[in-house]
């Protein structure tokens, strides 16, 4: 898929499946396949294999390949699959090249391992990912990869960089970056399902959803209300069914993954434990998640 074709398809919900593990922390590929099939019962516009929700940074390159290949097989050409790429140096280049070999539509470039690197080094990092993959690159701005409009402009000049996923939730800065670069990049909301009102309010029409892994109907409804400009219904939906989950997710570092895995287990799907240094939710928090699921069930966002 050429980069322009990929960007044209990125409107709506970009799903982020978790990477399930067995109790001994080994990869649960059968569980991953089951989870992806569950997600694809709803109209995702793309899937990201081995992304942040998929614990990219806990996986070996061989495991990343297995996850990507399984995702591609389940997607069966129905929608683009994008592979997560990160770390730095030779490892980032290996993952980028491997992603292309697997046949993905593009790569999502996570920040390098080294915080607050010099801009020249960051340009080299993202350039190496683009060159090694030969695919469209989506830059993921988050954590220490928090760029000024001028810095974003430098990254947008890299051949192969085609899209920008904001993970900072800084709408003011995101507007400034978009104002500077305009149609040069495809723009994606990427800081969370709770940010859909903010992103869609400034004209973005694609967002990456971790809730899509557990309640894809809810994710799709958020997009539909945002795209329709129904801010009253959208904000009510977010307040009732998204904010409670995100409040729990902020309790401890890494709970943006741990909570989703716990929900999958409660739903009878495959989550398993997180890998260190992340930690699993406790029993009291699991009860909170059950209450959230009950609300989703009553609202019709879950089957059964």
200 is catalytic: no
From the candidates 38, 93, 126, 165, which is the catalytic residue? 165
Q: Which of these is catalytic: 38, 125, 126, 140? A: 140
Give the residue ranges of DSSP H helices in the chain.
3-9, 29-39, 61-75, 89-102, 119-133, 149-156, 171-181, 196-201, 216-228, 231-241, 243-249, 255-266, 283-298
The radius of gyration of the chain's CA atoms, rounded to the nearest angstrom, is 18
Task: Give how far the C-alpha of residue 290 lies from the chain's centroid of Cα atoms, to the nearest Å.
Answer: 23
Cα 196 from Cα 194, distance rounded (Å): 6
What's the token pair of residue 160?
A: 């192969």
Residue 221: active-site member: no
Let me know how long the chain is.
304
Longest dimension (CA), the chain: 53
**3-class state of residue 274 by DSSP:** coil
* Active site amino acids: 140, 165
């Amino acid at each position: 898929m050429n980069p322009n074709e990929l960007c044209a398809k990125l409107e709506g919900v970009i799903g982020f499946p978790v990477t399930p593990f067995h109790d001994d922390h080994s990869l649960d590929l059968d569980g991953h396949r089951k989870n992806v099939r569950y997600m694809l019962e709803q109209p995702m516009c793309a899937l990201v294999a081995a992304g942040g929700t998929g614990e990219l940074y806990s996986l070996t390159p061989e495991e990343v390949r297995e996850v990507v290949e399984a995702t591609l097989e389940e997607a069966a050409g129905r929608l683009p699959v994008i592979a997560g790429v990160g770390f730095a140096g030779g490892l980032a280049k290996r993952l980028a090249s491997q992603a292309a070999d697997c046949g993905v539509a593009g790569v999502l470039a996570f920040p390098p391992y080294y915080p607050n690197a010099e801009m020249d080094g960051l340009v080299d990092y993202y350039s190496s990912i683009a060159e090694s993959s030969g695919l469209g690159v989506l830059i993921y701005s988050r954590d220490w990869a928090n760029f000024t409009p001028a810095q974003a402009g430098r990254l947008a000049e890299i051949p192969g960089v085609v899209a920008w996923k904001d993970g900072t939730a800084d709408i003011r800065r995101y507007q400034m970056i978009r104002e500077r670069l305009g149609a040069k990049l495809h723009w994606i909301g990427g800081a969370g399902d709770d940010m859909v009102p903010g992103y869609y309010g400034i004209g973005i029409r694609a967002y990456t959803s971790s809730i899509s892994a557990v309640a894809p109907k809810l994710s799709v409804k958020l997009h539909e209300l945002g795209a329709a400009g129904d801010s009253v219904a959208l904000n009510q939906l977010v307040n009732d069914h998204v904010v409670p989950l995100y409040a729990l997710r902020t309790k401890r570092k890494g709970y943006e993954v741990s909570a989703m895995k716990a929900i999958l287990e409660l739903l009878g799907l495959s989550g398993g434990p997180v890998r260190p240094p992340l930690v699993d939710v406790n029993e009291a928090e699991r009860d909170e998640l059950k209450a959230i699921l009950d609300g989703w069930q009553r609202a019709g966002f879950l089957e059964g």
